[in-house]
Amino acid sequence: MNDPVRISQNTFESDGFLVVRGLRNRTFCSRARAEVCEQLEPLLGPAEFEADVGYPGAPKGRAEEGGMTPRRLLSAYARFSRLRGLAVAEDVGELLRGLGLGEQPMLSQGHHNCVMTKHPGYSSATLWHQDVRYWRFDRPELVSMWLALGDENVKNGALRVIPGSHLLSLDRGRLDAELFLRPELEENKVLIREAVPVELAAGDVLFFHSRLFHAAGKNRSSDVKLSAVFTYHAADNLPIPETRSAIYPSIPVR
């Protein structure tokens, strides 16, 4: 009989991502969405705005129309009780251990730790990037967990990933000044053609490696898309002192 844990680990090691269907039920997601929406209308900080990121389609400044559209509600672990319980839950810990984070996975409070709030109308597209480009740890071996709080599809801006791209070592010239893939280069065009969308139902979870290239389109639906995102590292993979990665202590996962 095949070992599902080993199969999952092998898939993650080769592809750089793994989808776990139905990790939480729709009731959990509905209650978590309600908790999040209480802090969207009216907006409570801390938050990041579409105008802050400078991605394609984003307003040029906060004073422009749509400039105060929130993109992320920050510090999700501290502010949302249901998501706090999820972030360090025992079943999440077991999955992270199976994905190679050792006996004691740690939740980073300095990276992700947010609810992505992709609004229709003023949401921007996210270019091809690796999350680890601005993270500073002893090893670039971190895992992010993306929980869909509602259905995610191509229309409302679901993530796209390039399978196996976490194993690549690209020449610096294939990246722009902000470390996004340069889409005009032929070798990058070939790579991007290998991308696949990750469509999720509410309660599904995407685990992905910090070196995996991923991107997302604009939300072209009529509803806000909400996704909770947390990032984890092994206990012996420490943040480098005096960097953003070391600002807040990490939290042990059960």
Query: Which H helix or E strand runs over 129?
Result: strand 126-129
* CA-based end-to-end distance of the chain: 28
Question: What would you report as the CA-atom Rg of the chain, rounded to the nearest whole angstrom?
Answer: 18
| Residue whose token pair is 């509600």 | 73
Has residue 101 got a pLDDT over 80? yes
pLDDT-derived band at 3, boundaries 50, 70, 90: low
pLDDT-derived band at 59, boundaries 50, 70, 90: confident
CA 55 from centre of chain: 16
HSE, CB side, 13 Å, CA atoms: give it for residue 163.
11
How is residue 230 written in tokens?
């947390």
Q: Is the peptide bond before 42 cis (omega within 30 degrees of 0)?
A: yes
HSE, CB side, 13 Å, CA atoms: give it for residue 92.
29
Q: What pLDDT is stored for residue 2 in this prediction?
A: 46
Task: Report the candidate in 221, 159, 167, 168 with the shortest Cα–Cα distance to residue 195.
Answer: 159
Predicted TM-score (pTM) of this structure: 0.93
Amino acid of residue 128 = W
HSE, CB side, 13 Å, CA atoms: give it for residue 118.
29
Q: What pLDDT is stored for residue 1 in this prediction?
A: 46
Q: What is the DSSP letter of 179?
A: S
How is residue 55 written in tokens?
């991605």
Task: Report the candidate in 106, 105, 163, 145 with the shortest Cα–Cα distance to residue 20.
Answer: 145
Task: Report the candidate in 66, 75, 7 with the shortest Cα–Cα distance to residue 39.
Answer: 75
pLDDT-derived band at 7, boundaries 50, 70, 90: low
Are the C-beta atoms of 22 and 204 separated by less than 8 Å?
yes
pLDDT-derived band at 53, boundaries 50, 70, 90: confident
Percent of the chain with pLDDT over 70: 97
Q: Are strands 251-252 and 70-74 parallel, antiparallel or unpaired?
A: unpaired
| Residue whose token pair is 């609810």 | 115
Q: What is the mean pLDDT of residues 199-226?
A: 96
Partners of residue 239 on adjacent β-strands: 137
Q: What pLDDT is stored for residue 220 in this prediction?
A: 94
Amino acid of residue 67 = G
pLDDT-derived band at 122, boundaries 50, 70, 90: confident
Q: What pLDDT is stored for residue 6 in this prediction?
A: 56
When the candidates are 3.10.180.10, 2.60.120.620, 1.10.1040.10, 3.40.50.720, the CATH number that belongs to 4-252 is 2.60.120.620
182 Cβ neighbours under 8 A, 6+ residues apart: 174, 175, 176, 188
Has residue 188 got a pLDDT over 80? yes
Q: Is the peptide bond before 46 cis (omega within 30 degrees of 0)?
A: yes
